Amino acid sequence: MDQGRQSEQDSYDVVRSRLQERGYLQHGIERFLLKEMVSAASPLRAVVRTALKAALLGAPLLGGILAVATVAVNRPMLGAADGLIIWAWLALMAGPVLFVLDLAAAGILALLAGRRGAMSGDGFRGGLLVGLPLLGYLVLLWWFGTPGLGLAADILFAAAALAVAAAVGWCARFVSIAGVIGRTGEVPARGRAGFAALTMVLLPLAAVLFLLPRAGGMQEGMPPAGFQVQDSPHTLVFIGVDGLDSNLVQALAGRGAVDRLLAAMEGGSVFPTSREPGKQPPEIWTTLLTGTPPQVHRVTAVDEESLPGVATPIRKGTAPLPLAAALGFLLPSRTMPATGVHRSVRTLWEIAGLKQPTAAVGWWASWPAQDNPAGGYVVTDRALPKLLSNAPGDRDTAPASLYKRLGDDHAVETPDREAGFQRWFGDLAAGAEVSRILRESHLIDHFALKTLGTLLEDPGVRSGYAYLPGLDILRTRLLGRTESAGIAGILETEQALQRYVAWLDHEIGSGQRPRGDEYFVLVADPGRSATGQEEGFVLVNGPGVTAGCVGPVLDPVQVAPLVLGLLGFPRSEELAPFPDTTCLKGADAGSVPAIRSYGRRSTPTSGVVSDFDPELMERLRSLGYVQ
């Protein structure tokens, strides 16, 4: 036994001598990384320990630059203290990733060396195998996650990413050398290619960041360009119906459930809309209302995640991959409802509110409510759940005094709302569960329509916007139970959906003010149950709109410019142009010259977390938005 140990020690003395002869073990980091190769350990164990040490050195570097990217894309809500906590979490998650990368590179080089022997460039090749993908990931992360921060920010990040990738690759080269030694017993020549050479090889990849097209600047709180609104007596009502599509309208056309809608289509213009399936409602409707894609408006999900020690939620889709995985599966993160704190782009009611009073009810990511410069009203998506819970108001409406008024009205209207529900749905042969789902959907949409109607009684309000998610909630929840409910469940679902659409058709049709100076815009989206075969649509009624006209298919980003054109507002150069269609030629819309920008809304830096968040999350789960 002693003789075997002495023989093993002699072999590692030889390795040490060869490493020194080849120019290794000259610096502290090299001696730290390659110490296992000159100690009595098995080759595999030596490589694993070397990889662990390399990951230990690289994890803080990689975690630091990932934290920078996370803070940058979630600015200005995350501060320096938050950044330090995020750095610690990301370093913790980056370590295992680097360990696997280092081992993989060492394994590849060991296999090659086993076939053709050790070569002087083996360590350098191992460093590239780790540094190249790491740098590529960092470049793409910055490009996709942080558009428009400016050239200076891009240069600083590219330089930091290059330095981190080179440093991590430099550490990885010693893991690969350890792998080659363990596989062949030979020590590859050191060669002249060191840290500087590795940096120069990686430099072209870092430069790719400046060749990729980037989105425009996203300065927070940027004022709009000066503009004038076309003098017009027209007002506008905008209704968003989630869960309604052309297939459903056609299926119910012969059953008397959509008579008012069909009449409105005959008297106005209809534009089909295209959208990708699988998108969550906050993303779809924020795109429709801002005229910007998700990577610009930043609202992509119904919930957000908050790290332990960081109160501010981290917007979904912006966290680097290690952190995103940790948030979803590993870390004790806190799930919070999506808010508007990350959305710096203005919505239709906020753009119109720059010049004239508006009213908005129930839209995603509208909390915390902000006053419009020209006045008006905002009732956020959190107002109704809080009223139902008798919770105190917390930036749920603008002005804040509106919350008490809504609470008083809600208490008074409860008997009438219940009587109306019984008139429409009381005779349905539906089970208790279906009746409960119907009642919840009816409550949400009734509140939105009733509230908007009340706010539009203010003669100063020039445009009103209401979001009706009830049909989407109903479809999603009912269709989810039909598989287990059998034929009876299918019949219940069909009957409930038909009656609910008929109620919406009656309420929306009855709610249109019979005035010739008003535009009525109905935007229908297939909702969460969409499979790609359904098609939404935009219905426009009002002065100068061609009756019975079917316009071109609209992309979601074209809806906002269309509405702004009807209001007599100029199009922003940051938005799509007004749709080129004969259906609206008589409306004299879209003729105002474009302006540079409608600016950016201010983003709060504090108070972005509410005590009501846990209760609201439970409500979102009960409505089927969160699993």
412 and 451 together in one domain: yes
Torsion over CA: 291, 294, 295, 299 (sign): positive
- Backbone φ and ψ for 524, nearest 5 degrees, come out as -115, 130
CATH number at 548 reads 3.40.720.10
**469-494: pLDDT as tens digits:** 999 999 998 876 666 566 767 788 88
The answer on 257 and 206 residing in a single domain is no
Three-state secondary-structure class, residue 212: coil
- The answer, yes or no, to whether residue 528 has pLDDT greater than 80, is yes
pTM: 0.75
Are 249 and 381 part of one and the same domain? yes
Q: Order across the sheet with 376-379: list the strands.
A: 397-398, 376-379, 358-361, 463-468, 235-242, 518-525, 536-541, 269-273, 549-550
Residues 274 and 126 placed together within one structural domain of the fold: no
Residue 574 domain boundaries: 235-299+340-587
User: Is position 522 within any domain?
Assistant: yes
Average pLDDT, the chain: 82
Alpha carbons 294 and 552: distance in angstroms, whole number: 23
Candidates 93, 89, 92, 71; CA nearest to 80 is 71
Position 341 pLDDT exceeds 60: yes
Per-residue model confidence (pLDDT) at position 138:
83
In a domain, 616, yes or no: no
3-state secondary structure at position 542: coil
Regarding predicted confidence, which is higher, 332 or 533? 533
The pair phi, psi for residue 460, each rounded to 5°, is -80, -20
Instruction: Evaluate if residue 607 carries a pLDDT over 80.
Output: no
How many other C-beta atoms lie within 10 A of the C-beta of residue 366? 29
Question: What mean pLDDT comes out for the span 118-139?
Answer: 85
And the tokens for 618?
A: 């439970």
The last residue of one of the domains, among 210, 227, 243, is 210
Give the residue among 599, 347, 549 at the shortest CA–CA distance from 466: 347
Do 204 and 255 lie in one domain? The reply is no
Phi, psi of 419, rounded to the nearest 5 degrees: -65, -40
Is residue 184 domain-shared with residue 281, that is, in the same domain? no
Using omega within 30 degrees of 0 as the cis cutoff, is the peptide bond preceding 76 cis? yes
What is the enclosing helix (H) or strand (E) of 144?
helix 122-145
Bin 193: left if φ > 0, else alpha if -120 < ψ < 50, else beta. beta
Q: Judge whether 374 lies within some domain.
A: yes
Confidence of residue 336 (pLDDT cuts 50, 70, 90): confident
Residue whose pair of structure tokens reads 């009073």 in the numeric block: 357
For the segment 31-41, the average pLDDT, to the nearest whole number, is: 67
| Structure-token pair, residue 461 | 């309000």
> 323 pLDDT exceeds 50?
no
- Backbone torsion region of residue 151, taken as left when φ is above 0, otherwise alpha when ψ lies between -120 and 50, otherwise beta: alpha
69 within domain boundaries: yes
Lowest mean pLDDT among 109-118, 273-282, 579-588: 579-588
Q: Does a structural domain hold residue 373?
A: yes
What is the per-residue pLDDT for 478?
86
Q: Which two structure tokens, joined as six digits, stand for 326? A: 């940790």
| CA-based torsion, 573, 574, 575, 576: positive or negative | positive
CB atoms within 10 A of CB 153: 14
Distances (CA, A) of 571 to 233, 400, 459: 19, 31, 26
Among 59-68, 363-372, 411-420, 423-432, the minimum mean pLDDT is found in 423-432
Pull the structure tokens for residue 139: 């470049």
Range scoring the smallest mean pLDDT among 74-78, 126-130, 570-574: 74-78
Instruction: Count how many domains the chain has.
Output: 2
Please check whether residues 284 and 137 belong to one and the same domain: no
- Residue 234 binned pLDDT confidence (cut-offs 50, 70, 90): confident
SS3 379: strand
Give, as one character, the DSSP assignment of residue 313: P
Structure tokens at 304: 């957000």
For residue 399, cis peptide bond before it (omega within 30 degrees of 0):
yes
Q: Which residues contact 171 (CB under 8 A, 6 or more apart)?
A: 29, 33, 54, 57, 58, 102
| In a domain? residue 626 | no
Note the pLDDT of residue 375: 92
**295 and 184 part of one domain:** no
Q: Is the pLDDT of residue 22 over 50?
A: yes
- Read off the pLDDT band of 194 (50, 70, 90): low
Percent of all residues in the chain with a pLDDT value above 70, rounded to a whole number: 80
Least confident of 183-192, 235-244, 263-272, 444-453: 183-192
Least confident of 139-143, 375-379, 525-529: 139-143
The verdict on 244 and 182 lying in the same domain is no
More confident residue, 321 or 430: 430
* Mean pLDDT computed over 147-168: 81
Pair 186, 270 in one domain: no
Residue 6 has pLDDT above 60, yes or no: no
Lowest mean pLDDT among 31-40, 77-86, 318-327, 589-598: 318-327
CB-based contact 186:117 (threshold 8 Å):
yes
Looking at residue 446, what is its pLDDT? 96
248 shares a domain with 109? no
| DSSP summary character for residue 315 | P
267: in domain = yes
| 512/582 same-domain check | yes
Contact by Cβ (8 Å): 304, 339: yes
Average pLDDT over residues 390-418: 92
Of the ranges 67-76, 384-393, 397-406, 565-574, which one carries the lowest mean pLDDT score?
Answer: 67-76
In a domain, 224, yes or no: no
- The pLDDT, as a whole number, for residue 326 is 47
